[in-house]
């Protein structure tokens, strides 16, 4: 039984899906005005692990992720400059050129990190109609007001506004979230549609019943998730920084529109921090995956780095620790290669050996993604003298469907699935040649395999093979 920490209840809960065997999952995607930094990528790795654990448990996961290419101002609270316009100004390109460029780079980062692409990737600019429809519903139900031409969501109309973040309003009002927009009735109200924003010449504008303008950021996630996943979603993810504003506002909009609970499990990943606190793009300099690659690390070194710590704990990034991680991943790869390169054709799989370890592994990953313990199970497998190399390889490959570190496909390994298939086919051909007493053909196949470092051993019980070291 999979258990996961739900921000909504502040508890670890048993996961129960809405529709048997299926999981509907929504994750907030990037604002594509710049490269993703490695902090963002930590969150996407955590979400990938969550999805793969659910798949390991046999669920069919439908995963939707948005691409924000309009509407996100510098602060999540409708203040500051427009992020997309900033990107365009910086690079002297059009907003859409910038958006498409960074979207491609983002998808490449995901691929390099072995992060599985979402089932549906939805761009904000291609869903303006859906957002307008949703704002219209909110307007009809009385949750909105117009001030200075903009459409705002009135949080006083939605009684559960603080349920996700457990916000203490006074504390917050005394804190940083004091709204400078004098048109808002409540400082926590937020814009659904900007008409008279500070940017009279906003580049991307659409006609709407509320006037020509552009949508706020939060409405995009509500509109697209409702469109693709329906009114009841199993899991919604993101980083913890999105709890107090973005996700709180998403819930307010969606639940006000549909009139009932929207998401069952809110699962949040903690921040990656640098020397100067939370890593963020507004701090100026930020680390990207490409920078790590330039510095001699592989993307999977960084994935391993992220997997080393619990997703609910802050993780400090340092090059020293990344170097240690790289070394331990190299050493793990060598151990795995040694196992794989020593598999021989007469090894058989004993299902009892395998299933005991799989059960152990599953217990760890199902325990609120205890990946550190799952690695301990992997290391136990490597050490276990009762297991033969073929059994070890089978288990490593199985666990790597979650870790996704290419442990079995590593370039150090002389044997991969393709090669095993190749050997087995040649051995079949050789067996036929020998039945037909075609000794020349049989020898030719033996030599061909020798060239591939595979030695054939004929015994009275049949033919086996092993990879020569």
Please select the residue that binds Zn ion; options are 4, 115, 221, 235, rule is CB under 5 A.
221
Please select the residue that binds ligand AMP; options are 42, 247, 326, 353, rule is CB under 6 A.
42
**Order of strands across the sheet with 60-67?**
120-123, 60-67, 22-27, 233-239, 263-269
Q: Which stretch binds ligand AMP (CB under 6 A): 27-35, 170-178, 248-256, 319-327?
A: 27-35
Establish if 62 lies at the interface with ligand AMP (CB under 6 A). Answer: no
Binding mask 395-434 for ligand AMP (x = CB under 6 A): ----------------------------------------
Q: Which stretch binds Zn ion (CB under 5 A): 22-30, 130-138, 269-277, 302-310?
A: 22-30
Distance of alpha carbon 44 from alpha carbon 61, whole angstroms: 16
Which parts of 210-239 interact with ligand AMP (CB under 6 A)? 238-239
Which parts of 259-278 interact with ligand AMP (CB under 6 A)? 271-272, 278
- CA dist list (Å): 236 to 159, 181, 226: 21, 29, 12
User: Minimal distance in Å, beta carbon 40 to ligand AMP?
Assistant: 4
Please select the residue that binds ligand AMP; options are 75, 114, 119, 280, rule is CB under 6 A.
280
Q: Beta-carbon neighbour count of residue 91 at 10 Å?
A: 14
User: Minimal distance in Å, beta carbon 191 to ligand AMP?
Assistant: 17
Q: Which is nearer to Zn ion, 53 or 65 (CB)?
A: 65
Distance of alpha carbon 400 from alpha carbon 386, whole angstroms: 21
Please select the residue that binds ligand AMP; options are 52, 177, 202, 242, rule is CB under 6 A.
242
Beta bridge partners of 123: 67
Token pair in block for residue 80 = 């500051």
Which parts of 321-360 interact with ligand AMP (CB under 6 A)? none
Q: Which residue is nearest to ligand AMP (CB)?
A: 239
Distance of alpha carbon 157 from alpha carbon 160, whole angstroms: 9
CB within 8 Å of 14: residues ≥ 6 apart: 1, 2, 3
Please select the residue that binds ligand AMP; options are 28, 85, 128, 224, rule is CB under 6 A.
28
8 A C-beta contact, residue 175 and residue 195? no
- CA dist list (Å): 143 to 96, 153, 186, 259, 326: 32, 6, 13, 12, 52
Give the side-chain half-sphere CA count within 13 A for 435. 7
* Residues of this chain that bind ligand AMP (CB under 6 A): 28, 30-31, 39-40, 42-43, 238-239, 241-242, 271-272, 278-280
Residues contributing to the site for Zn ion (CB under 5 A) = 28, 221
């Amino acid at each position: 039984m999979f258990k996961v920490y739900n921000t909504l209840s502040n508890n670890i809960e048993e996961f129960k899906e809405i529709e048997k065997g299926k999981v509907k999952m929504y994750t907030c995607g990037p604002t594509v005005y710049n490269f993703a930094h490695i902090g963002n990528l930590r969150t996407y790795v955590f979400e990938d692990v969550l999805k793969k654990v659910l798949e390991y448990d046999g669920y069919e996961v439908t995963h939707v992720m948005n691409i924000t290419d309009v509407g996100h101002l510098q602060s999540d609270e409708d203040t500051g400059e427009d992020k997309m316009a900033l990107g365009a100004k910086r690079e002297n390109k059009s907003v859409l050129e910038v958006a498409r460029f960074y979207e491609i780079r983002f998808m490449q980062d995901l691929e390099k990190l072995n992060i599985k692409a979402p089932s549906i990737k939805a761009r904000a600019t291609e869903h303006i109609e859906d957002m307008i429809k949703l704002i219209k519903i909110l307007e009809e139900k009385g949750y909105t007001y117009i001030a200075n031409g903009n459409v705002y969501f009135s949080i006083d109309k939605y009684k559960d506004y603080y349920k996700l973040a457990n916000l203490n309003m006074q504390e917050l009002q005394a804190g940083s979230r004091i709204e400078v927009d004098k048109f808002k009735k409540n400082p926590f109200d937020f814009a659904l549609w900007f008409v008279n924003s500070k940017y009279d010449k906003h580049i991307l504008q659409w006609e709407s019943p509320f006037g020509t303008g552009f949508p706020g950021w939060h409405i995009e996630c509500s509109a697209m998730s409702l469109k693709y996943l329906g009114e009841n979603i199993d899991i919604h993810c993101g980083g913890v920084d999105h709890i107090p504003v973005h996700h709180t506002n998403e819930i307010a909009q969606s639940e006000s529109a549909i009139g009932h609970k929207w998401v069952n499990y809110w699962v949040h990943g903690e921040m990656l921090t640098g020397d100067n606190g939370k890593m963020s793009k507004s701090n100026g300099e930020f680390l990207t995956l490409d920078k790590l690659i330039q510095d001699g690390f592989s993307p999977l070194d960084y994935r391993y780095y992220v997997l080393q710590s619990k997703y609910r704990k802050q993780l400090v990034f340092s090059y020293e620790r990344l170097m240690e991680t790289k070394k331990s991943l190299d050493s793990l790869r060598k151990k795995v290669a040694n196992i794989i390169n020593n598999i021989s054709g007469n090894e058989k799989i004993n299902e009892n050996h395998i299933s005991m370890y799989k059960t152990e592994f599953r217990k760890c990953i199902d325990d609120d993604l205890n990946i550190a313990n799952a690695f301990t199970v992997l290391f136990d497998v490597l050490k276990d003298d009762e297991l033969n190399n073929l059994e070890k390889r089978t288990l490593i490959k199985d666990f790597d469907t979650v870790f996704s570190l290419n442990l079995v496909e590593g370039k150090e390994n002389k044997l991969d699935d393709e090669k095993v298939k190749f050997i087995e086919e040649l051995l079949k051909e050789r067996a036929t040649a020998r039945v037909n007493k075609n000794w020349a053909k049989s020898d030719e196949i033996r030599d061909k395999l020798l060239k591939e470092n595979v030695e054939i051993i004929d015994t009275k019980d049949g033919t086996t093979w092993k990879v020569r070291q």
